[in-house]
Amino acid sequence: MSLTKSAVYQNWLRKYLIEERRWIFIILFLNIMSLAFTLIDPLPLKILADSVFSNHKAFWPLGSITNTHTLLFIAAAAAFAIPVLSQLYIFASGILEQKIELGVNLRVEREILMAILRIPVRHPERLGAGDYQYRLNELVSSVGELAYVTFVSIARSVLFVTFMILVIFWISPILALVTLVSTPVLYACVKKFGDKLEKQTQDFTEQQSKVYDKSADIIEHSRLIQADGKEATQTEQFVEISRTRNRYSLNYTITSSLFNVTDNFITNLTTGVLILVGGYLVFDGRITFGSLLVFISYMAILYQPLHELNTAIGDYRRQIVQIRRLYELITTAGHIQMTSGSINSAPDSSIDPAGVK
């Protein structure tokens, strides 16, 4: 039984993911380690609210320190050091991640270029030069982005959200329940907008290929166009294709913006409810003011990976569309090799010095 087209495309993508699995896990580990800085970032506020300007004992390992001036100095130093160290860590790990991602993109670029060169110049299935340029220059990076940005972002977000849920339940179960009420609403938001964004991405990608193809065709045949006096006609055709591309781009921007507005509305509404409920808990002495500040900060931190997860899902849909467009070239080249006996291997443009006299 032959594999379906979708299964073959997935196998091609899986090949790169398996080859890069060790580096993917390393990048994921580095990303998870960076979340430690996020967790300790609001703690200076808790020191100030509970132990400097109030009478509560500081948390471990500062519990033995009772001098408010010492605690104030520690809070100030931590407020400076934590963001600086976090940025340095992100800077170093980001460079490593980009270096690895560029290596993957280079291998994909090589395979796609070889596939293009296997398609005979005058074969009916060969596309325009502009279409190939677009796929080779603009879509190749989608494989590396999918492996090292999207997949890592999704895994990191899921792990971090799970851990943060445990932390906020430990701080205040009541506030945690209020926070989690918005989670299914956010999921419904992702479900509603996700399919529409994928369709709009596919429309834009196909139209962008036509723009590249038309521009390359006009430039290649510019002398013939001038000789026939068809400059205005060709220009209008190009403008019409570009106008359609721009309309698709605008539709995607509007949908993406509506998605972000809806997402932020849910988040901000939850924050307002948390402040109200948390304030009454402070009045009743069930939590400290510092704990409320930390909880609100953690709530924002909790929604940050949720937002990243929403964005990553949208990026995943976009990148899958682009990867399918790339794989079409490999499928076409393979089909031509099987149906035509004229090409059995990749072109070899090298020159053997021994045969040159």
Provide the percentage of residues in the chain whose pLDDT is more than 70. 86
What the block records as the tokens of 317 is 């849909």
Per the rule left: phi > 0, alpha: psi between -120 and 50, beta: everything else, 351 is beta
pLDDT tens across 67-81, in order?
888 888 888 998 899
pTM of the model: 0.59
pLDDT value, residue 240: 93
Average pLDDT across the chain, whole number: 78
Helix/strand/coil for 123? coil
Radius of gyration of the chain (CA): 28
pLDDT value, residue 326: 77
pLDDT tens across 251-285, in order?
989 988 888 888 788 878 888 888 888 888 888 88
Measuring CA to CA, how many Å separate 63 from each of 71, 171, 185?
A: 10, 18, 40
DSSP calls for 14-30: HHHHHHTHHHHHHHHHH
CA distance 222 to 214: 12
CB 271 within 8 A of CB 300: yes
Cis peptide before 61, with omega less than 30 degrees from 0?
yes
Other Cβ atoms within 10 Å of 81 Cβ, number: 11
* Residue 123, Cβ density class (10 Å: 0-12 exposed, 13-18 middle, ≥19 buried): middle
CA distance 226 to 212: 20
CB 334 within 8 A of CB 214: no
CA distance 198 to 259: 13
Average pLDDT (76-93) is 89
Per the rule left: phi > 0, alpha: psi between -120 and 50, beta: everything else, 336 is alpha
The domains found in the chain, sorted by start residue, are 5-339 (1.20.1560.10)
DSSP calls for 47-108: IIIIIISS-PPPPTTSTT---HHHHHHHHHHHHHHHHHHHHHHHHHHHHHHHHHHHHHHHHH
b (16+ CB within 10 A) / e for 302-321: bbbbbbbbbbbbbbbbbbbb
pLDDT tens across 107-160, in order?
888 888 888 777 777 777 676 666 777 777 767 777 777 777 777 778 877 888
pLDDT value, residue 357: 43
